Copies of this chain bind each other. A is one copy, B any other.
Amino acid sequence: MNKGQVTITDIARELGISPSTVSKALHGHPDISVSTKVAVRDLAEKWNYKPDQIALSLQSGLSKIIGVIVPEIVHYFFSTVISGIEDLAHDSGYHVMFCQSNESYEREVKSVNTLLSCRVDGILVSLSKGTHEFDHFNKIRRNGIPLVFFDRICCEIETDRVVVDDEAGACEAVKHLINSGCRNIVHLSGPQYLQIGKNRKEGYLRAHDELNLPVDNNNIIRCDTPEETRLVVPELLKRANRPDGFFAVNDLTAAAAMSVIKESGLRVPEDILLVGFTSGMISDITSPTLSSVEQHGYQMGREAVRLLIDRLEKNRESPYQTVVIKTELVVKESSVCCNNKY
C-alpha cells in the first residue's frame, strides 16, 4: 500500500498472489478457491479498496460518464432537469459531468471539446441562446457518441430529443380561463424568437380557436418581466373593455401582474382571473396562490437520461425518438371564482 489509494497489486503483493487472481476473486470468478476469495475480500474490505474507475474506463473503453451542457444552473427549470438527470444517472451506475454554457456559443463549443476529451459515453445538451451554428454537435456524432437534446433543442440535427409540450400547456391554461368565464384574456408573452415564447402564444391562439372565441390582437402584449409588467399592466386595466383574465408566459410576470391588479383596487380572482407558467415556488407565495402550468423538469431530466442509456446499452441504431413531456395545469386560487359571471 504505497501512496494514494489501494490497488489490486497492493493486495496481491500482501497476499503473495498475482493481481489477476485478486481481480478474479473480487469478481467471484468460479475458478478461484473459497479460501483465496475470502482472504482477498477481507483484505480489500480492511484496506478500503475501491476499483479505479479511470483504469476501468481505459480498459473497457467506457467511461460511465454522462456529459451535460446547460445554459445555466441558476434557473429553477434547469435545476429541476439537472436533478432528474443526476438521480437517474446515479441509479443506473453512471456519473454526471457537467458544464454551463452561460448562454455563450464559444463556451458551448469548448464544453463539447472538454466532454469529448473526457471520453464521456454520451452527451445531453440544452442549447445556449447564443448558438446558431451546430457543427460542434456533428463532431459529437462523428465520434460515435450518442447525443440527446432537451428543452432547447436543435432542429438542424437529427437525434433523440425531449421537449416540453408548451403549446398544449398554454392552450389548456387559456381554455381553463375561457371555461371559467373569461372573454377578454390578455396574453403577456415572451420574445417570439424563443421557442417557448412562440409556443405559448400558439397555445393561447389555439385555445381561442378551438373554443370559437375571436382573438383581439391588442390582447397579445410583449411583456415577460416584473419591470415591464409594472409599466404595461396598469394601462391595460384602464381600457374601456378591461381584461377579465391574464395568461402570463411565466410566473414572475404573473405574480407582478397580480400585485399591480390588487394595487389598482381590483380583486383576483373575483374581478380578474390569472394563470402563469411555472418557474419555481412563486405560485405558493402569492396571495391568492397562483394557478400555473407545471413543466415537470425533473421528469424531463430522467427521460433524457433514459433515452441516452437506452441507446448506449440497447440498440445504438434504433430510430431517433422525440419524447414530449406533458405539461399540467395546476389550478390554485387565482383562477377559481365562485361568483362566476356566466
Residues of B within 8 A of A285 (CB): 226, 252, 255-256, 259, 282
Q: Does A90 contact B (CB under 8 A)?
A: yes
Q: Does A3 contact B (CB under 8 A)?
A: yes
Q: Number of copies of this chain in the oligomer?
A: 2
The distance in angstroms between the C-alpha atoms of A117 and B260, with both chains bound, is: 55
Residues of B within 8 A of A260 (CB): 287
Do A52 and B117 touch across chains, with their CB atoms under 8 A apart? yes
- Can you add 16 more A-B contacts, CB < 8 Å, to A86-B98, A98-B98? A4-B143, A5-B116, A50-B113, A53-B117, A54-B118, A55-B58, A74-B298, A83-B100, A95-B97, A96-B98, A256-B287, A259-B285, A262-B262, A262-B287, A263-B287, A280-B280
A3-B144, A96-B97 known; A50-B117 Cβ under 8 A: yes
Do B259 and A5 touch across chains, with their CB atoms under 8 A apart? no
Residues of B within 8 A of A90 (CB): 99-100, 114
A3-B144, A285-B256 known; A53-B118 Cβ under 8 A: yes
The distance in angstroms between the C-alpha atoms of A54 and B121, with both chains bound, is: 12
**Residue of chain B at shortest CB distance from A255:** B285
80-98 of chain A: CB within 8 A of chain B: 80, 82-83, 86-87, 90, 95-98
Interface residues on A, range: 35 or more
The distance in angstroms between the C-alpha atoms of A100 and B80, with both chains bound, is: 12
1-57 of chain A: CB within 8 A of chain B: 3-5, 48, 50-55, 57
CB distance from A142 to the nearest CB of B (A): 8
Residues of B within 8 A of A118 (CB): 53-54, 95
Q: Does A236 contact B (CB under 8 A)?
A: no
CB distance from A93 to the nearest CB of B (A): 10
Contact of A139 among B48, B76, B99 (CB under 8 A): B48
Residues of B within 8 A of A5 (CB): 116, 119, 143
A73-B82, A83-B74, A98-B98 known; A259-B286 Cβ under 8 A: yes
Q: Does A284 contact B (CB under 8 A)?
A: yes
